């Protein structure tokens, strides 16, 4: 069955578990600043695609890639090039 990519779009809630493996605090309430357009959004509001070999996170304002996460062979690769700043509460 062919599906539109947009129908498979998830949101930041879907990567709360994955980010919970990496960060010490709950991250869907963290605020990320997009390096491309400067929009600030809670991680719970970002666009998430999990069909790629890794997880791709995009800015809900400009759709630029914020973050890529790949997990495999017992390791993580975390690409945060698209996030200028992540702000979150102390644990």
Partner 1 sequence: MARAALLGRLGWQFGELVELVHETPRVASLYFNLPMWPGHLAGQHVDVRLTAEDGYQAERSYSIASPPEDRWVALTVERLDDGEVSPYLVGELKVGDKLELRGPIGGHFVWRGADDRPLLLVAGGSGVVPLMAMLRHRSSAPHKAPARVLYSSRTLADIIYREEIDRLVAANDGLSVTHTLTREKPAGWSGYTRRIDAAMVKEVAWPKAQAPAVFVCGPTPFVEAAADLLVGLDYDPLWIKTERFGATGGPGG
User: Which residues of this protein are in contact with partner 1, per CB under 8 A?
Assistant: 3, 6-14, 16-17, 20-21, 24-26, 28-29, 42-45, 50, 91
Q: Is the dihedral of CA 9, 12, 16, 19 positive or negative?
A: positive
In terms of CB distance, is 23 or 80 closer to partner 1?
A: 23
Task: Supply the minimum distance, in Å, between the C-beta of residue 57 and partner 1.
Answer: 13
Task: Supply the minimum distance, in Å, between the C-beta of residue 80 and partner 1.
Answer: 19
DSSP for 44-68 reads GGSEEE-SSSSEEEE-TTT--EEEE
């Amino acid at each position: 069955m062919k599906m539109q990519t947009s129908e498979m779009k998830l949101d930041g809630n879907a990567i709360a578990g994955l980010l919970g493996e990496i960060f010490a605090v709950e991250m869907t309430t963290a605020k990320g600043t997009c390096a491309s357009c400067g929009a600030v959004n809670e991680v719970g509001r970002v666009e998430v695609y999990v069909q790629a070999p890794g997880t791709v996170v995009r800015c809900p304002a400009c759709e630029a890639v914020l973050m890529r996460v790949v997990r495999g062979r017992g390791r993580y690769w975390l690409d945060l090039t698209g996030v200028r700043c992540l702000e979150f509460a102390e644990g």
